Every structure is written in structure tokens, then in C-alpha cells.
């Protein structure tokens, strides 16, 4: 542990050489993912030591002057461009379910380029790495590190590994929460982005990463805004807080949550005598149109951090004493303050929910997906957010076998997506819909 601490401190103190990470970030910025990672697409990448498995009925078919690699048992296929049928059949025949990716690459011989293209296009749909996924899931459930659980292959592998390493480090150094909480948090942020060995790079989807990430550094850049009927954003941190899922959905959230002012185009919130940020509507010079933005509190004061860490300490203490209601309430306050403070340039939601789920997993047996909790925390008052967070825990902190958890979360996701889509219809009566579909409403975090 001492060697790990020294490596992490070298980053915090500016002694570590991060040029390799910066070069990697610059390359990755050309292929940005959607900010919420909501699209269902395979992001997991196999490595040389992984045993690859294909369905036994994997076959090549001609489809409209193109070739398709398909499996009837899986119910579909993928069009493969740029190779002959003979080459594709040779590549498809390599997958015997026993050899690693490295062994298969060697066996591909002159078909190596075609082989790599097939692996890249079919990973998670026709090709699988069950051993790798099982090992990752055993360390940290993938349902705890995503917004909307789909299938494990939708998770970026480095992210999953780094979140697992972050959880492990947080658990093994919890005593530092009392003695050195800010240093503890900053080290966890380094691991979330670079891994425990400082070489397993992850890039969050936030656009701010295109201007640099700065692992472990507190993001204390001042907010620079010219206020008026429409705000002019001149610099500093900002987070988009548009109505994800539609305004009707957010109106129902606000009504049931008891906070109708959460819909306002401009709003500043105070709690415990501190400013915890504000919502404004406007644009920066580079933006095409006005939009709602959350501006975190700046400067970040010692009392902000004291309130943040005290909530987390109180949550752990309450859970330890068997007071789950108080523990969850304090945990909601910790998450609320974390995302509103926006203490790091990026990965704030990933790190804050990892710590939320550390507490839930220890004392409830399971954590929960991230959902839109950070977006709601940036608009709602603390009392309203506490109630929504408590509902999220009740609905989504599901213990059980990994396959059962994934299945249950996918079912809740489908319920929620269908409910929110119906709310977008102009003729839909939101109150009646929530009454007629109580399970879907609760899965969408609509309070009874």
C-alpha cells in the first residue's frame, strides 16, 4: 500500500510524468461517446489473454450483394464489408471457444487484418469473453457503474477496471476519511482515471476532457458569467442541465417531489448557510443557442468540503448502527453536495456514485445504477432530492446473483424508458399515467 500511496502522491504533487496519458487523451478526443452513455452499443474490448467464445451456429450468409456473419440462436447477424466469403469463413472457423485472442491472432496468419476487423465489429454481439466479464463482475458489479444497465459489453473495460480499483482502494483506506479526507478523495480520482498502476487510461465522455483532465487536481477555476435576461458564459465550470427525457417528465418529477421551482430557467440554492451553485439559462460564445446550465459554487471553501465529508462519515456511522433510514438520507446529502461542488474537472459522477455504492454494498448488499441522479441533484432542493434518492435506493439497490441483477435492472430500465416516452406525447395525462403504471413511475423515480 505504501508504494501505491507514493505513486498516487507523485501525481498529486505534479511529479509524475503524465505526457503519455495526455497524448492518449488527444487521440481519444476524436471519437467522443455520448455524454450519458445511454446508447446501446458495445464498448468492451477483448485483450490478448481473453478466451473468445462464439455461438456454435456462427455462419456466413450472402445478403444483398454483401456478406453477413450471423447466428440463428442469437437471432441476428452483422454485415461484414471488405473481404471475400472464403476469407470470412476461414476467420469464422477460428473461434473454437478454447483459444485466447493472442492464440487466435497467431492462427489467423495471412487473414490477420480480416480477423481483427471481425473481432472489432462483433465483440459483444456475436463474439464474447465470458471469463473476462465474470472476473470483472466478481470484483465490482457492472450494474453499479453505469447509468442505465443494458448488457456488460456496453461498459468501457478500462473504466470498469478502474472503478473496481477505486472501490478497493477506498475500502482499504477508509480510515483516511477521518484523518485526511481531501487527500483520500484526490487519490481516488487519480485511480479512477489512470488505474492503480497509472497506466490503465480512461477518458470520461464529458467534453471538458478535450481541454485536459488533471487527475486528482481540485477544479477551482472561477465561474465567469455576465448575468441578464440571458446569461453570457465567459469561462469557468458549467454542466448542462437540459430536461433529459423531456419537460413533461421533469414537470412530473417536480410536482411529486414538492419542488416546482426546479423547472425555473434561473435559480440559486443555499443550504447550511452555503451557496451550492446555480442554474442559469444562456450561452457561451462558442454555443449555437441558449441552454440551461448549472454553475457550481466558486470558490470552493473549506466548509464545503467539511459538509461533504461529514455527510459521508455520518452515512457510514448510521448504517453501521443499523439506522438505514438515516444512513440513506446522509448518503443523499453526500452525493448532492459532491455533484454540485464539481470538485474535479471530470468523473465527478463516477467517483461520487462509486462511494455511494461502497456504502450501499457494505450495508445493503448491493449498490445501484447512476440513473439521472446527478442531473436531478443539480436542479432540486436538498429536501426534494433526499426523497428522490431514497426512492432510487429502494427501487434499484438490488442484491442477488449477477445475472439476476442485470435482468432485474434491464426490466426496470424498459419500464422507465417506456413510461418517459409516453409522457412525451402531447395528449398524455401525466398524473393518470403515473396512477395507472405505478411500477413504471417508481422506476422513473416518480414519487407516490
Site of grid cell 440513506: 328
Q: Calculate the alpha carbon distances from 344 to 126, 239, 361 in Å.
A: 38, 12, 25
Is there a contact between 95 and 104 (Cβ–Cβ < 8 Å)? Answer: yes
Q: Is 440 helix (H, G, I), strand (E, B) or coil?
A: helix
* Rounded-to-integer distance, Cα 385 and Cα 329, Å: 10
Give the phi and the psi of residue 133 in degrees, each rounded to 5.
-65, -40
Average pLDDT rounded to a whole number, residues 122-137: 96
pLDDT in tens, 200-256: 999 988 877 777 889 999 999 999 999 888 899 999 999 999 999 999 999 999 999
Helices (H), 205-274: 247-257
Give the integer Cα–Cα distance in Å for 252 and 257.
Answer: 8
Give CA–CA dist 359/313, Å, rounded.
10
Cell 426523497 identifies what position?
387
The pLDDT assigned to 212 comes to 80
The C-alpha atoms of residue 444 and residue 422 are separated, in whole angstroms, by 12
- Residues 236/221, Cβ–Cβ less than 8 Å: yes
**Helix or strand (DSSP H, E) at 304:** helix 302-320
218, three cell numbers: 481540485
Phi, psi dihedral angles at 284 (to 5 degrees): -95, 170
Q: Is the link from the previous residue into 236 a cis peptide, with omega within 30 of 0?
A: no
> Alpha-carbon distance 71 to 88, whole Å?
14
Average pLDDT over residues 91-103: 96
Q: Which residues contact 219 (CB under 8 A, 6 or more apart)?
A: 237, 342, 343, 344, 345
Cell numbers for 75, please give them.
Answer: 437471432
CB 145 within 8 A of CB 354: yes
Q: Tens digits of per-residue pLDDT, 277-301?
A: 999 999 999 999 999 999 999 999 9
Query: Average pLDDT for residues 90-109, to the nearest whole number?
Result: 96
Residue 38 has pLDDT above 70, yes or no: no
Q: Nearest Cα to 246, choosing from 419, 424, 426, 445?
A: 424
Burial class (CB in 10 A: 0-12, 13-18, 19+), 138: exposed
Residue-averaged pLDDT of the chain: 94
Q: Are 297 and 275 in contact (CB under 8 A)?
A: yes
339/385 Cα distance (integer angstroms): 12
Of all residues in the chain, the percent with pLDDT exceeding 90 is 88
Q: What is the CA radius of gyration of the chain?
A: 23
d(CA 252, CA 310): 32
Q: Provide mean pLDDT across the span 367-379.
A: 97
Please give the pLDDT value at position 246. Answer: 96
Q: State the residue for C-alpha cell 462464439.
A: 54
Relative to beta strand 274-284, strand 231-235 is: parallel
**d(Cα 435, Cα 437) in Å, to the nearest integer?**
6
Q: How do the domains of the chain map onto residue ranges?
A: 2-45+131-211, 59-128, 224-246+260-295, 302-443
For 130-141, what is the mean pLDDT?
97
- 377-402 per-position pLDDT tens digit: 999 999 999 999 999 999 999 999 99
User: How many helices (H) and strands (E) would you count in the chain?
Assistant: 18, 9
Question: Is the backbone peptide bond immediately before 299 cis, with ω within 30 degrees of 0?
Answer: yes
Bridge-based pairing state of the strands 66-71 and 76-80: antiparallel
Q: What is the per-residue pLDDT for 33? A: 56
By CB atoms closer than 10 A (0-12, 13-18, 19+), residue 273 is exposed
pLDDT for 40: 65
What pLDDT score was predicted for residue 31?
A: 57
Amino acid at each position: 500500500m505504501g508504494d501505491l500511496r507514493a505513486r498516487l502522491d507523485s501525481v498529486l504533487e505534479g511529479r509524475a510524468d503524465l505526457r503519455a496519458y495526455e497524448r492518449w487523451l488527444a487521440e481519444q478526443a476524436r471519437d467522443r461517446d455520448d455524454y450519458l452513455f445511454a446508447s446501446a452499443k458495445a464498448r468492451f474490448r477483448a485483450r490478448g489473454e481473453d478466451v473468445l467464445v462464439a455461438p456454435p451456429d456462427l455462419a456466413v450468409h450472402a445478403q444483398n450483394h454483401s456478406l453477413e456473419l450471423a447466428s440463428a440462436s442469437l437471432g441476428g447477424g452483422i454485415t461484414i464489408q471488405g473481404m471475400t466469403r472464403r476469407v470470412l469463413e476461414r476467420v469464422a472457423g477460428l473461434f473454437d471457444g478454447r483459444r485466447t485472442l493472442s492464440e487466435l491472432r497467431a492462427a489467423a496468419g495471412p487473414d490477420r487484418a480480416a480477423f481483427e476487423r471481425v473481432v472489432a465489429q462483433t465483440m459483444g454481439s456475436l463474439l464474447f469473453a465470458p471469463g473476462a466479464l465474470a472476473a470483472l463482475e466478481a470484483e465490482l458489479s457492472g450494474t453499479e457503474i453505469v447509468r442505465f444497465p443494458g448488457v456488460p459489453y456496453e461498459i468501457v473495460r478500462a473504466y470498469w477496471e478502474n472503478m473496481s480499483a477505486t472501490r478497493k482502494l477506498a475500502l482499504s483506506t477508509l480510515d483516511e476519511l477521518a484523518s485526511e479526507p481531501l487527500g483520500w478523495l484526490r487519490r481516488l480520482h487519480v485511480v479512477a482515471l489512470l488505474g492503480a498502476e497509472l497506466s490503465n487510461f480512461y477518458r470520461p465522455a464529458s467534453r471538458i476532457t478535450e481541454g485536459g483532465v488533471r487527475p486528482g487536481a481540485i477544479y477551482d477555476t472561477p465561474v465567469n458569467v455576465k448575468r441578464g435576461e440571458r446569461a453570457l458564459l465567459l469561462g469557468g465550470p458549467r454542466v448542462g442541465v437540459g430536461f433529459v427525457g423531456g419537460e413533461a417528465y421533469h414537470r412530473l418529477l417536480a410536482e411529486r417531489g414538492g419542488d416546482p421551482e426546479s423547472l425555473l430557467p434561473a435559480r440559486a440554492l443555499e443550504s447550511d448557510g452555503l451557496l451550492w451553485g446555480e442554474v442559469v439559462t444562456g450561452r457561451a460564445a462558442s454555443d449555437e443557442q441558449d441552454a440551461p446550465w448549472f454553475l457550481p459554487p466558486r470558490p470552493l471553501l473549506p466548509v464545503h468540503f467539511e459538509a461533504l465529508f461529514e455527510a459521508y462519515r455520518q452515512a457510514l456511522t448510521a448504517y453501521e448502527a443499523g439506522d438505514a433510514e438515516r444512513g440513506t438520507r446522509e448518503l443523499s446529502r453526500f452525493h448532492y453536495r459532491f455533484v454540485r461542488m464539481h470538485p474535479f474537472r471530470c468523473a465527478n459522477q463516477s467517483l461520487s456514485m462509486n462511494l455511494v455504492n461502497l456504502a450501499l454494498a457494505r450495508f445493503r448488499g448491493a449498490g445501484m445504477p447512476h440513473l439521472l441522479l446527478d442531473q436531478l441533484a443539480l436542479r432540486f432542493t436538498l429536501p426534494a432530492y433526499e426523497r428522490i434518492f431514497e426512492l432510487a435506493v429502494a427501487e434499484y439497490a438490488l442484491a442477488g446473483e449477477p445475472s439476476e441483477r442485470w435482468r432485474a435492472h434491464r426490466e426496470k430500465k424498459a419500464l422507465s424508458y417506456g413510461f418517459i416516452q409516453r409522457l412525451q406525447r402531447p395528449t398524455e395525462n401525466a398524473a393518470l399515467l403515473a396512477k395507472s403504471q405505478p411500477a413504471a413511475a417508481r422506476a422513473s423515480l416518480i414519487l407516490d
